[in-house]
Structure 1
């Protein structure tokens, strides 16, 4: 049996488990919990030097499989690809820190759930700071009763004085960056501008767009700002893989453009499809606590 994770997944893909065709029967699903366990070595090798806790990544993945509906039904290739991208970028999957999210979506083309990786607001900020020229980054929400003024051009102006109370509804979002050489740049987007971009997203009505709209709006304006700034290799890769599906589990997969499938997301699978749930935790995971915030009792770091 091959010890290479990508080869093992490819072998499973070429010899998929049989599906029962009787109406109402549950299709046999690969055990993603055990798959996470098998990935621990690859995760450890993929993590950057400043992130040295593969056990925590595995615990978080296990927690997400239990927590997120349909995630346990996703293909091994897409689930493993999303985890490898998180590991290689040094980001934690799951919504606890807001660095990255694992979102299942139904791919009509292959008639299977796949994992879409969404890089979060905090993940973008974390990767920005890895560039040696980075000196400051901030993103804010502007409300209708705030004192706000901006102007682009040769002498750009950005001034924001938030109202002390009764700020009203959000009207704009902006991001501003300072570089070590003294330079700076900013981008302002109206709520309507953000909505145009949200509507292009496969996960526009689910995941962090539904639970953390403000953070996703700030992430959106930060992404626009990044077009004007020097980017670290990690940040450039994160932007490339944001909202994509990675199926290549090899280390080189991070440098391969992911798959973007528009307009093929459904909230629920077709009614005649029956789906498995997460299996009981195997003995190897017995006693593992649920993932918690870093530094918590269950973290072990």
Structure 2
């Protein structure tokens, strides 16, 4: 029995049942979503090698939160792990979701380098941060800050060791002593995400959308190939057959992915 999870993304997203599944969630945004999804998979071979339905369902987490899946933007990553794709929301994604509530006056998280943090009191949250005091590019920690429109404010500071302890304990996809995956390629971004997620979930106002994000973040999606079994006129065997020369899948409508990562 052939496995639809291995059908190329270009072909899989054209299936009637996949299209209906996408339309039920995305309504009029299906075409834009499938174009972005194909681009993401085409630009990352490791995503092309995992269960393709898990890629679609992970991307749909981003779509349900109205976050872009362009990996260069840093709002959402689709991370390969043990043959599946898993959604990982970036710190920019959490900031975006928080801003939509209209409850935050100020919200930010930054990288702290050696010499910049002069003083930090975890009880009173008094601190002295001086970016002009930077002594080297070595990262020693991460600061997060929020101020609500009602006047409530909160500052948190995580040392680099705090982040490492948290990563090794809670992030199953990051490796152990040595970071891997997104933690290896975007360590600071993932550390900032850890601080922002903790700050918002513990001290911020959690909208239904933000609660949904926290629950689904880094959670492997459930896939069921029976949901997308191809029709008789477009069988699995025909989908898995090599494309005939001179008749490539029409992808003339695919957009170019911008490269503007920060």
Between the aligned partners of 1:28 and 1:180, the Cα distance in structure 2 is 47
From 34, 38, 46, the counterpart of 2:25: 46
The residue number in structure 2 matching 1:23 is: none
The alpha carbon displacement at 1:41 in A equals 5.4
**Maintained 8 Å contact 1:135/1:179:** yes
Between the aligned partners of 2:115 and 2:58, the Cα distance in structure 1 is 41
SS at match of 1:197: helix
**Maintained 8 Å contact 2:108/2:145:** yes
Residue 31 (structure 1) aligned with residue 8 (structure 2): yes
From 122, 126, 129, the counterpart of 1:160: 129
**Maintained 8 Å contact 2:125/2:156:** no
Question: Structure 1 84/287 Cα, relative in aligned 2: closer, same or farther at 3 Å?
Answer: closer
The alpha carbon displacement at 1:57 in A equals 2.4
SS at match of 2:6: coil
The residue number in structure 2 matching 1:56 is: 32
Bigger CA drift: 164-173 or 185-194? Answer: 164-173
The alpha carbon displacement at 1:70 in A equals 2.9
Question: Structure 1 94/201 Cα, relative in aligned 2: closer, same or farther at 3 Å?
Answer: farther
From 76, 82, 97, the counterpart of 2:73: 97
Between the aligned partners of 2:181 and 2:70, the Cα distance in structure 1 is 10
The alpha carbon displacement at 1:152 in A equals 3.5
The residue number in structure 2 matching 1:231 is: 206
The residue number in structure 2 matching 1:270 is: none
Taking the TM superposition and a 5 Å limit, the aligned residue runs for 1:1-301 are 16-17=1-2, 29-38=6-15, 39=18, 42-43=21-22, 45-47=24-26, 53-106=29-82, 113-153=83-123, 155-163=124-132, 166-199=135-168, 200-204=170-174, 205-226=179-200, 227-247=202-222, 283-292=249-258
SS at match of 1:283: coil
Q: TM-score, normalised by structure 2?
A: 0.77
SS at match of 2:143: strand
The alpha carbon displacement at 1:128 in A equals 1.1
SS at match of 2:70: coil
SS at match of 1:137: strand
Q: TM-score, normalised by structure 1?
A: 0.68
**Maintained 8 Å contact 2:144/2:199:** yes
How many residue pairs are counted as aligned between the two chains?
A: 234
Question: Structure 1 285/174 Cα, relative in aligned 2: closer, same or farther at 3 Å?
Answer: same
SS at match of 1:182: coil
The residue number in structure 2 matching 1:271 is: none
The alpha carbon displacement at 1:45 in A equals 4.7
Question: Structure 1 55/169 Cα, relative in aligned 2: closer, same or farther at 3 Å?
Answer: same
SS at match of 2:115: coil
**Maintained 8 Å contact 2:75/2:93:** yes
Aligned CA RMSD, in angstroms, stands at 3.0
For structure 2, the residue ranges without an aligned partner over 5 or more in a row are 225-239
**Maintained 8 Å contact 1:40/1:55:** no
Higher helix content, 1 or 2: 2
Between the aligned partners of 2:35 and 2:210, the Cα distance in structure 1 is 25
The alpha carbon displacement at 1:28 in A equals 8.9
**Maintained 8 Å contact 1:145/1:168:** no
